[in-house]
Structure 1
Amino acid sequence: MSSRFASLPHRRAIIDRRTLAEALDAIEGSDRTKLRQAATKALKAALIAGRAEIEARLIAHPSRGLEIAASQAFLIDQILRLLYDFTTQRLYPLSNPTAAEKLTLVAVGGYGRGEMAPYSDVDIAFLTPWKETPWHEQVVETMLYSLWDLGLKVGQSVRSIDEMVRQSKSDVTIRTALLEGRYVWGEQDLYDEASRRFKAEVQSATERTFIAEKLAERDARHKRMGDTRYVVEPNVKEGKGGLRDLHALFWIGKYVYNVQTASQLVETGLFSRAEYAQFHRADNFLWAVRCHLHAIAGRAEDRLTFDMQRDIAERMRFADRPGKSKVERFMQYYFLQAKAVGNLTGVFLAHLDEKFAARGRRFGLPTLRRRPSKLHGFVLDRGRLALPNDNFLIEKPTRLIEMFVLADRHEMEIHPLAMRAAARDAKLVDDIRRNPEANALFLDLLTSRHNPELALRWMNEAGVFGRFVPDFGRVVAQMQFDMYHHFTVDEHTIHAIGLLSRIEKGELQEDHPLSHAIMKQIASRRVLYVAVLLHDIAKGRGGDHSVLGAEVAMRLCPRLGLTPAETETVAWLVRAHLLMSATAFKRDLSDFKTILDFAEIVQSPERLRLLLTLTVVDIRAVGPGVWNGWKRQLLTDLFEAAEEVLRLGHKQKGRSERVTAKQESVAAALGWDAKAFAKTVKKLPESYWVAEPEDVLAANLRLIAGAGTAPLSIATSVERDRGATLVTIYAADHPGLFYRIAGAISVAGGNIIDARIHTTRDGMALDNFLVQDPLGRPFDDSGQLARLRRAIEDALANRNKLTDRLKAKPPPRPRAEAFDISPAAFIDNHASNRFTVVEVNARDRPALLHQLAHALFQSKVTIHSAHVATYGERAVDTFYVTDLTGDKIDTASRVKALERRLVEAASGEAFREAA
């Protein structure tokens, strides 16, 4: 028995090789095919029973990841040994084998390390002394067919020892797989010879090259997987901070020091005992998660998707806590382990760096220009900020903050051993939280004009950030269980600070021209930076995180050295940090009461400038693809309208003058005859001229002029700046027009992000829709646009049943089912002077807007505008409506009936029944 599996409890309950060998020996007959089939059948039964036993152990002890992984490898070992013996002794026995007819079966890769998930590949190598003989071919082919019949996914190679050495030298992947080679069965002396030659001819004097290749391979993998360990659906095996990162450390340690187990890394000095304990804890936990993933999926699966997260949190016995669900607690622990893996990697590479320092440049690190030899007592080690002695931070704990300030100020890296010391001594900041010098240093770093994001991330990795600001420590590694936020709360916050810095420096001026411009007008930079730090700091506590976060701000800001006025402004920004996006994306900005209500809350131009910039970085830091031109335009429109109100007072000045100015500008752009233009103007209500921007007005009027007496005209225009396609429909107005168009756009594969609905004075509908593809890009492919036109024409002509076509469409986010979202409808008669505002929250799915619009049609309601906001799996659709006579819907019975009908539509029940 391999010592690797000696500690496994009750091994025979997994598989009893002796009993099974006797059963295989008892198989009678001389037909090789029938013998192989009978043996395979017996082995398959043993494999199924063994897997069932291991699965039962996983359920009973859900956190014993390494034990379960070793159990899987042990099971495969016994199956392979039995199959090897049966094949070589019963099917192809050799009465007098020659020296060339030797064969060894070697486990390689993860299987060689003795770690497998339930559906991991079985990676094996058949080793021969010299060239492959006919007997080798027969044995290998027969074994492979049997393994495939067992349902195993096999990665295999057949090599002579010479071929193994030659290929290992030229291919780092083969070299890595064979580095973990482990004898399974066959000729032991052949394996020993291969192992000796591998060390002497492949490993010897190539350590530095191997390390460089493995680090380059790791960096490429990280880039491919998103280059952050804080993505909310991480890959447990390949992702940053995952199992492959731990494996890379072990491979390098084994290659350089010939260690056989991870625990031996302590003896080499690469890890302290405490660090090995961290390594082991992370390794054990990640293996447990991976084994649960395979078990639930019933196949090889390494991506920790939202639906899997819920199931694994349940299986691993995490419990709900106030303000934090079991799945959020499970994922927070996951990210803490991923963070530990990152810290261990830094320490590990620092030691290797020291070992190979005299022989060249540092691994994967740029050459930096020379610096002064000392900085406030810190020293420089080849361009990196380092400590002069091991007690340097203990002697003066404020240095725990100063170290990161100096690294940022002088644009230096921090030596991994200094990071190791900071992590070890992080608890010392508990005593200096109220130290004025420490707080001033922290505020300097937060508001740095260099690269505060990088230094704050290092501070967070070392555990100093969360201890110095304990409220921040509560959100470290905390995920938000939804499909909108891409990162953990701490990573989102640090990224937002980095975006703010880049906007201020003009690096993102093209994407954020308004934010960059107003940064120069902001009276207190530090108010804005502190507000960005604190805007999500109270997530996971239960209750409204904006309100709770404002309370944190009132406590923390004075400690950081902010004035009472600055503290009050930070608290207000944190409390209101969702106000601007909610108003811009869910309300009709052409309704002047929307602007008045917003301005009444904001109260000052300075607060408006601060709030816009905070809103921009908050949205953009959510993740890639969330920010777009359409959101930029809406926020800009709201900012400009509110700024005018705040500057001129709460009166709508010059509405008619603005309408006249717009009309004159559009007339000039069109170059029409004044009489013809005036005739068209008469058809359109004043509200239309207020609601639409000038470029849309001009495009609409061209469409009207070209339509003549046609019953339907459709125009499309790709609006790159808005990140969407403008679809305009000019048709005879009739009830139900909007819901039919919405359904047709959905059938064609488009997502409506905004809709403005106008009725001309001669009874025509003029509707403007902004449409994106399912990935949030403009709907611009010629085939897509042709399909869109055809779908709208068919829907308005009632040529086919919309419901059937919509039902056939797949959901845009199949994993959205992992989230519990109860549909809700809110009806507000105070948000507008002219309209009833209806807001519906529901799980996003195909044709939701169509179904809600149909419910409004059935309720005899007229839609004047629609605004669509999507937050991952959650959709928020807002409608400005009146009854058929143009009045608000304000009777209690009608409001209740409308709410009920909308909730039914949002749930999809009526749609499924109709389909």
Structure 2
Amino acid sequence: METGETSPTAADLVLARDRILGQGARSAGPSSGHRLAPDALREALADLHEFWLTATAATAGVGGRGGGVALLAVGGLGRRELVPYSDLDLVLVHDGRKTVDSIAERLWYPLWNSGVGLDHSVRTVGEALDVAKADLRTALGLLDARHLAGDAEVTVRLATSAREQWRGSVRNRLSELIESVRQRWHRAGEVAHWVEPDLKHGRGGLRDLAILDALSLAQLIDRPGPDVVAAHTLLLDTRTELRRIAGRPRDIVRPQDGDEIAATLGLGDRFALARALSGAGRAVAYAMDVALRSTGATTGRKVLGVLRRSPERRPLDEGVVLHGSEVSLARDADPGKDAGLLLRVAAASGRTGHPIAPAALTRLSDLAPEPRAPWPAEVRQDLVSLLGSGEGLTDVVEALDRTGLWARLFPEWGAVRDLPPRDAAHIWTVDRHLVQTTVNASRLVTRVSRPDLLLIGALLHDIGKGRGQDHSVVGAALATQVGQRLGLSKEDVDTLAAMVRHHLLLPHTATRRDVEDEATVLRVVDTLGGDPVLLELLHALTESDSLATGPGVWTDWKATLTADLVDRCAAAMAGERLPAPAELGAAQRELAEAVRASGKADFLVDTDGRVATITLATKDRPGVLSRAAGVLALNLLEVHAASVGSHAGVAVGVYSVTPRFGSMPDPALLREQFLRAEAGSLPLADKLAAKERDYGGRAEDAPEPRVLWFDHEAGDLDGEAVVLELRAADRIGLLHSVAGALERCGVDVLWARVATMGGSAVDSFSFVPGRAAGWRRVVENAVLDASR
């Protein structure tokens, strides 16, 4: 477009724009000399529109210096990041003169008539500032204001005032800012992990980058680092190419657009582009999370104010504290010498919902070693606790992965990180799908007898993807490798590998075969080796996996078919083995005989590192189990396994415990508290309720507890016994509450086995059934009420 005596028309603008976009160059391919690179294209579009607006403004009556009227660009044109088919965001600012309306008409109407998108306003400096006070979007937009034509002093006055107003008011607008951000994220999803990301509005997209710039301008955070700058460039280049290819305004990248965009950007194919975008989105999202926390936007704390006390440091675990609103390291914690510290920090963050402090992440990243294989039981327990933390798991894994710590725990993760799926049903990248499946599985832990294997299997079920082979076969081999490193038993490693190998067996069979055909059922039973535990694990994994795939994948129809198949397979798998009491050792039998002779309760404590086995022998009477469990919980001893039986007429309870914090309490203290509990002078219920309030209480979104019943031969007793199995979210004092409920129902527990796996408890109680009608319902309701 050449200048002349007459101003260029809007038609000239559109024609020149289309020529720059090179609509006919698409068939020539990205290597064509007619096709501008993305950054050069944006610069050319900005120059073109700025030239047209400047020339048109002059003829429309926008005077020069002293004229009192100025044309400003905000948005993409203001930042000179004008992507194809973007609206022009323009502000006509004036000093109150009456001729401004006619000037505006001469500016806006040609653009409207030519079909150019336009977002415009006409205001005085004062009016613009007043609108910015009331409207957050306007306030942010004015930060990008750039002079195009007219009286530059008016532009300077507005731009300077807008920035000063933003700096002065931003601290009072943080809650409004975070609310708008969360609403946008809820609508648009995530750039990092969505298969069809929204480059502008999604979490980790260009709108978030604008907010980072605004917070930096207000001097609340530092300027974005190089990884965020690189992410900005990739997102902007991708959006530029997407719109050039589409020939219209579009911000959501579809898989079918990927190959052409990737070729232009030198990224190979759409899968390489998807992984690059996922990495960019993660970098921006993480920077946003850190920025919003550091400004206090997510916690409501004041950034400035009068002298304040330092945030309280409350212990969460060994070497882990809650410092203000962040999970941090205790002052004496040594990451270099404590291999389990990393997972205790992660588990505490997932459990409480508080983020890990950036300084703690940095220190762990610099010093924390990989846990030595096989992992100690307490380290594995912390992993299961983390995996069972529900929605909190997502942010914890993201934080660990961003700092290289997740790969330190799971080196196998690299192949699935940011990996786009190969089928249209999935909405997440593979790594996020694995995490989301685990989140879903945490809600189903009460449906299985081995919640630890369910959670680990959910995390690993697609770990074999991205390697060019059958991902179930590759994944099973990797699961074996991981299971052995975690220190699982040979039987558990085999079960874990079978879960990964056969995680598609139930949904594929249920939806593709006749589940009423005996051959179909026997094929599944034979494939699973007749293992009912593996069957129930795969049932829960199928639901968790389907829910994490995408909307409409887990339908009522699919759920019914799968449940029908599982029921038929379970019926074909003859007789499930039931829990049985563990036999007492020689030292424990000797303790029981000594207590029978003396008539006084006594303890035997055997420690092995942080794990201790506590044996309690006392007179056999109702209430022994609940009182013992209450005393252990009162001393913050977490019960991992327990058995209750009798020897020589003495009740003997064996408890495998670890201290939640610090070291084991003095056995004399445990003995004294138990004797007080037996005498009724120790109010266990009140003290345990206080402990729950102090140490996290009960999760609001905990899965519903579940009770299962089994018939069981009582062995040396006449008649039959039953086994009640409770599956519930674990908490301080759970065993005490449930045992007390059984005792109040008149149940005399013959034996009990307790297993705590991460955040879940699977407790089995054997007793002689009652004779009254409806006794099972009475006992079941009492146990469920006590476990909630």
Scaled by the length of structure 2, the TM-score of the pair is: 0.65
Inter-partner Cα distance in structure 1 for 2:318 and 2:37: 47
CA 1:58–1:415 in structure 2 vs 1: closer, same or farther (change >3 Å)? farther
Paired residues for 1:414-453 under 5 Å: 414-418=355-359, 421=362, 426=365, 431-436=369-374, 440-447=378-385, 451=389, 453=391
Inter-partner Cα distance in structure 1 for 2:111 and 2:302: 47
Check if 1:385 corresponds to 2:299: no
Partner residue, 2:488: 562
Partner of 1:414: helix, strand, or coil? Answer: coil
Inter-partner Cα distance in structure 2 for 1:421 and 1:441: 21
Check if 1:186 corresponds to 2:166: no
Aligned-residue offset at 1:553: 1.6
Partner residue, 1:78: 51
Check if 1:210 corresponds to 2:173: yes
Check if 1:616 corresponds to 2:557: no
Instruction: For 1:634, give the aligned amino acid.
Output: L
Partner residue, 1:663: none
Residues 106 and 185 of structure 1 are in contact (CA less than 8 Å); yes or no, is this contact kept in structure 2?
Answer: yes
Partner residue, 2:695: none
Inter-partner Cα distance in structure 2 for 1:611 and 1:621: 15
Partner of 1:156: helix, strand, or coil? Answer: strand
Pick one of 508, 521, 525 that aligns with 1:599.
Answer: 525
Partner of 1:24: helix, strand, or coil? Answer: coil
Partner residue, 2:571: 644
Partner residue, 2:422: 481
Instruction: For 1:308, give the aligned amino acid.
Output: D
Aligned-residue offset at 1:51: 3.7
Check if 1:400 corresponds to 2:342: yes
Check if 1:252 corresponds to 2:179: no
Residues 379 and 386 of structure 1 are in contact (CA less than 8 Å); yes or no, is this contact kept in structure 2?
Answer: yes
Inter-partner Cα distance in structure 1 for 2:209 and 2:533: 49
Partner of 2:322: helix, strand, or coil? Answer: strand
Check if 1:284 corresponds to 2:233: yes
Inter-partner Cα distance in structure 1 for 2:357 and 2:262: 33
Partner residue, 1:359: 302
Q: CA offsets per residue over residues 136-167 of structure 1, 9 Å max, x none?
A: 33332122222234542111111112211222
Partner residue, 2:477: 551
Aligned-residue offset at 1:407: 2.4
CA 1:415–1:618 in structure 2 vs 1: closer, same or farther (change >3 Å)? closer
Inter-partner Cα distance in structure 2 for 1:390 and 1:145: 69
Residues 127 and 160 of structure 1 are in contact (CA less than 8 Å); yes or no, is this contact kept in structure 2?
Answer: yes
Instruction: For 2:476, give the aligned amino acid.
Output: A
Pick one of 409, 433, 452 that aligns with 1:526.
Answer: 452
Inter-partner Cα distance in structure 1 for 2:297 and 2:140: 23
Inter-partner Cα distance in structure 1 for 2:346 and 2:113: 58
Unmatched tracts of structure 1, length 5 or more: 1-14, 28-35, 258-267, 320-325, 363-368, 506-515, 650-915
Aligned-residue offset at 1:436: 4.8
Inter-partner Cα distance in structure 2 for 1:51 and 1:82: 22
CA 1:451–1:375 in structure 2 vs 1: closer, same or farther (change >3 Å)? closer
Check if 1:340 corresponds to 2:262: no
Pick one of 445, 452, 463 that aligns with 1:537.
Answer: 463
Inter-partner Cα distance in structure 2 for 1:115 and 1:70: 7
Instruction: For 2:92, give the aligned amino acid.
Output: F
Paired residues for 1:366-381 under 5 Å: 372=314, 375-381=317-323
Partner residue, 2:580: none
Paired residues for 1:784-863 under 5 Å: none
Residues 90 and 121 of structure 2 are in contact (CA less than 8 Å); yes or no, is this contact kept in structure 1?
Answer: yes
Paired residues for 1:404-803 under 5 Å: 404-409=346-351, 411-418=352-359, 421=362, 426=365, 431-436=369-374, 440-447=378-385, 451=389, 453-455=391-393, 457-463=395-401, 464-505=405-446, 516=447, 519=448, 522=449, 524-604=450-530, 605-647=532-574
Pick one of 277, 287, 292 that aligns with 1:349.
Answer: 292
Aligned-residue offset at 1:428: 5.5
Partner of 1:590: helix, strand, or coil? Answer: coil
Partner of 1:647: helix, strand, or coil? Answer: coil
Aligned-residue offset at 1:453: 4.9
Q: CA offsets per residue over residues 199-218 of structure 1, 9 Å max, x none?
A: 45x33531212333222111
Inter-partner Cα distance in structure 2 for 1:54 and 1:360: 54
Inter-partner Cα distance in structure 2 for 1:528 and 1:198: 55
Aligned-residue offset at 1:496: 1.4
Paired residues for 1:252-331 under 5 Å: 252-254=215-217, 256-257=218-219, 270-271=222-223, 276-319=225-268, 326-331=269-274
Inter-partner Cα distance in structure 2 for 1:438 and 1:312: 48
Partner residue, 1:197: 161
Partner of 2:121: helix, strand, or coil? Answer: strand
Instruction: For 1:647, give the aligned amino acid.
Output: A
Pick one of 47, 57, 62 that aligns with 2:17.
Answer: 47
Aligned-residue offset at 1:344: 1.0
Inter-partner Cα distance in structure 1 for 2:553 and 2:574: 32
Inter-partner Cα distance in structure 2 for 1:373 and 1:433: 23
Residues 192 and 282 of structure 2 are in contact (CA less than 8 Å); yes or no, is this contact kept in structure 1?
Answer: yes
Residues 619 and 627 of structure 1 are in contact (CA less than 8 Å); yes or no, is this contact kept in structure 2?
Answer: yes
Inter-partner Cα distance in structure 2 for 1:395 and 1:58: 57
Scaled by the length of structure 1, the TM-score of the pair is: 0.57
Q: CA offsets per residue over residues 800-823 of structure 1, 9 Å max, x none?
A: xxxxxxxxxxxxxxxxxxxxxxxx
- How many residue pairs were aligned? 564
Q: CA offsets per residue over residues 813-835 of structure 1, 9 Å max, x none?
A: xxxxxxxxxxxxxxxxxxxxxxx
Inter-partner Cα distance in structure 2 for 1:302 and 1:44: 21
CA 1:606–1:64 in structure 2 vs 1: closer, same or farther (change >3 Å)? same
CA 1:123–1:592 in structure 2 vs 1: closer, same or farther (change >3 Å)? same
Inter-partner Cα distance in structure 1 for 2:234 and 2:88: 22
Inter-partner Cα distance in structure 1 for 2:230 and 2:387: 39
Unmatched tracts of structure 2, length 5 or more: 306-310, 577-788
Residues 400 and 426 of structure 1 are in contact (CA less than 8 Å); yes or no, is this contact kept in structure 2?
Answer: no
Q: CA offsets per residue over residues 102-145 of structure 1, 9 Å max, x none?
A: 320100123222212111111000011114x23x3333212222
Partner residue, 1:220: 183
Instruction: For 1:462, give the aligned amino acid.
Output: L
Residues 229 and 241 of structure 1 are in contact (CA less than 8 Å); yes or no, is this contact kept in structure 2?
Answer: yes
Inter-partner Cα distance in structure 2 for 1:289 and 1:156: 27
Inter-partner Cα distance in structure 2 for 1:306 and 1:172: 34
Aligned-residue offset at 1:245: 1.1
Q: CA offsets per residue over residues 659-692 of structure 1, 9 Å max, x none?
A: xxxxxxxxxxxxxxxxxxxxxxxxxxxxxxxxxx
Residues 191 and 198 of structure 2 are in contact (CA less than 8 Å); yes or no, is this contact kept in structure 1?
Answer: no
Aligned-residue offset at 1:525: 3.3
RMSD: 3.5
Instruction: For 1:147, give the aligned amino acid.
Output: L
